[in-house]
Structures are given as C-alpha cells and as structure tokens.
Structure 1
C-alpha cells in the first residue's frame, strides 16, 4: 500500500471507537495551549520583522515621485493578509509544531506506549492524534490574526522610524480600497494549513520504526512534507478563492 493510502486510512481511524467527550476536551485544551502559547514568541518576532522589511523594501522600490506614498502601506496590508501572515506563519509552525508532534509520537511508538494503549482497548490514533489536529485548527487562526496585526504594525514602525512614510500616509494606505473578503480568505488558509501540518506530522511520527535516529528522521520528514503540503495548498486555495 502506498503512503498516501496509509495516510487516508490513518485519518479514517481518527473517528473509530472514540473516547468520552470530556477526555477529548481536556486533551484538546492541553494541545491548544502547547501549540498556541508556546508559539507566541516566535510568531511575534517573525511577523513583526517581515512587516518591517516589506515596508522598507517597498519604499525603496517606489522611488517614482508620481506614485503616492500611501501605496507602500497598501502593499504591506494586502501582502500581509493574503500571503505573509498565513503562509509564513504556517511554515514557521511547521518547523516548531510539526517537529514536536512527530518526535512526540515517534518516541511513544518506539517505547511501545502506543501498543500499550491499544492493549487497553483505546484507539490510539483517535486518543493521541485527534486532539492535536483540533488544537491546531483552533489556535492557528488566532496566531495568523496576531501575525497579521504585528506585521502591519511592524511596517508602520519601520516606515515611521526610517522616514519612508508618515504615520498619516500609512493609515491612509491601510484604509484605501480595502477588500474585506481577504480576511476570511486568510482564516480559511490558516485552518487548512493547521490540518495539514498536524495530520502529516502525526502520520510521520505514528509510523516511526527503529530507535532514536528514526525519530529524528521522522521529525525531519514531517517538517519537509508539511512545508511542501502548505505551499501546494497555498497555490490551490489562491486559485480557488481569489483566482480568476
């Protein structure tokens, strides 16, 4: 059987023989805390500097005096909401969250903890993986919203401190010709990315065989495959939702 076939069977097992709702509620809360709170710092730093760099580089390339300066913040706004906030955040989280999920499940597999759950009559796939996927789906949109805000604010500070654009012109560009549909588009992307990262990483970790070396290899594959899946999904969603 191909790996894609095993992946779909793996996902189908998530809903077989489920535990009580309270068990999942506690597990989802723990996973959401692990994914969300522990990722705040890296997401904040990356998004702030990406916004600042986007503003400065855009200002450097728009040297034509006939182009109004508020176009700088308009470009920062649209590129942040449509691409930078959801996609770059997902790539960063694929490295942090994806490797954590894969290494955690891989360690449990090689130490036979997953086999022990199966012996006790617990659906290990549902018990271990489903809360991680739900926790990621809950927290990723929040992290993307935070990343979008900090990226735009980082561009504001960079433009103001460098003298590239005044605060009033920056605000004018943020308000000019804004399409509200871009916001739910970014949220949809974040939900899809969350599912892909969590499920692919869990799949890689769950089927780890061997020892500590194989756990590291599974973690590396989880990050690599998650990043590829995110980029492919990014293109498909862009074509589907905003493409002509």
Structure 2
C-alpha cells in the first residue's frame, strides 16, 4: 500500500512538471515563431475582432454594473462620516487599478478563452492540426501566434473602454440617484488619479491578455481523448486562466504599487 501511494505521488509529480515543461516549451516556441515568416495578419485581425469586439457586450455590462455597485456601497459608507464627496475618487481608483483589468480578464477568459480552447481542441482530435504539418505549415505560427498577440492587443483596449464605462456608471448612480454634485464627482475622480494608475491597469491587462490567449491555446493544442477531452480542455482553460489571472494580479500589484 505504501509503495502504491509513493507510486501515485511520483506519477502525479511527473505529470505535473511534464505539463508545465510542455507549456514553457510551447510558449518559447510561440515567441520564436513570432519573428519568422510568413506573418498571418488575416488570422491576427480576425482574432482581435473575436477577442475584442465580440467581447464588448459582456465587458460593458460587467463594467457598468461594477461601477454602479461600487458607487452605492462607497457613497453609503462614506456618508457616515461626511466624506461622500470622495466617492468618485474611490470608484475611479478602484476600477482603473484593480477591478477593471481583473473583471474584464475573467469575463474574456470565460467567453473567448473557452471558445479558443474548444476550437483548437476540436482541430486536434479531428486531426486538422496534423493536416497542417502535411501541408508544410507550422501550426504554432498559424494558430497560436495570432491568438497570443491578439490577446495582448485586445485586452488593454477592452480595459480602457471598461474603465470609462465603469466610472460613468458610478457617476450615474452617485449623481442621478444619490444626489451627489456632478462637478465634484468628476473633479475628485481626476484630481486624485495619477497617470501611473492608468498605466498600471494597462500593464495588468496586457499580462492578462497573454495569459488568457496562451492558456486557452495550450489547453486546446494539447487536447486528447476525443469529445470528452475537448470538454476537459475547455474547462481547464477557463479555470487555469482565471487562477493565473488572480495570481498574476497580486504579483503585478506587488511590483508596481
């Protein structure tokens, strides 16, 4: 029994580090393939549209309701000690530095990340990726590189839009429902916000975009086991991307604060 337990631990350890090793190898191959020809710009533009434009509805809804809820909570809390005029400051700071990048990243991981993993996983189990080798095409350069860089490009743009909509949602609640002064709201929002606050959020968004695109691509590219394997890869892509986003958020916050 003890020998079996040690055998299971060893098998798990080997599988774990083997999986991470395969991910690192694929990431290095992706970065190296970026510099070579041919450049599949059509695939890149399509993926930017898929990750960015088609994610706008869920990003806008998430951002505006986040800003509205923040304004309700902050205004009611600050009203207890007469600091409700600072609602705009806290709403803007919280969204730009933290909630905007994280929530947008999680929404895009659930929508675009799952779709990319399912698409590549289906291509793997139906041997379409193997067919690319037969046609002398590099699957990494054709499939993964455009998705990777599309995530890096699209997510910061989504975060910028989400930040604006979130702050505007806070304004609507604070001014339209709670009776705050609109001039004070905007003045306090921008007077106490520094340019570095915006840049730190965009740094996070860039990292999150790379994480989502690569994790989804890796899970799909290494799928095995038919339709059930595609389902596992899709689930793993969303869960892994969300976990890495939260971990990377802490690390980047610690480094840039």
Q: Does structure 2 retain, via aligned residues, the 8 Å contact 1:7–1:203?
A: yes
What corresponds to 1:206 in structure 2?
A: 221
| 1:215 Cα deviation after fit | 0.6
Cα distance between partner residues in 2 of 1:151 and 1:197: 22
What corresponds to 1:11 in structure 2?
A: 27
Structure number with larger C-alpha Rg: 2
2:42 to 17, 26, 34: 26
Structure 1 runs (4+) deviating above 4 angstroms are none
TM-superposition CA deviations, 1:30-56 (whole Å, max 9, x none):
111111111111101110010000001
| 1:191 Cα deviation after fit | 0.5
| 1:122 Cα deviation after fit | 1.3
2:47 matched to 1:45? no
Q: Does structure 2 retain, via aligned residues, the 8 Å contact 1:43–1:147?
A: yes
> Structure 2, unaligned stretches of length 5 or more?
1-16
TM-score for the superposition, normalised by structure 1: 0.94
Query: SS of 1:209's equivalent?
Result: coil
Q: Does structure 2 retain, via aligned residues, the 8 Å contact 1:19–1:127?
A: no
Cα distance between partner residues in 1 of 2:177 and 2:148: 42
Cα distance between partner residues in 1 of 2:59 and 2:45: 20
| 1:88 Cα deviation after fit | 0.6
What corresponds to 1:142 in structure 2?
A: 157
TM-superposition CA deviations, 1:55-77 (whole Å, max 9, x none):
0111111123442x221111001
Cα distance between partner residues in 1 of 2:230 and 2:65: 33
Cα distance between partner residues in 2 of 1:127 and 1:13: 12
Return the structure number with greater helix share.
2
- The number of equivalent residue pairs is 239
Q: Does structure 2 retain, via aligned residues, the 8 Å contact 1:43–1:92?
A: yes
> What is the CA RMSD across the aligned residues, in angstroms?
1.4
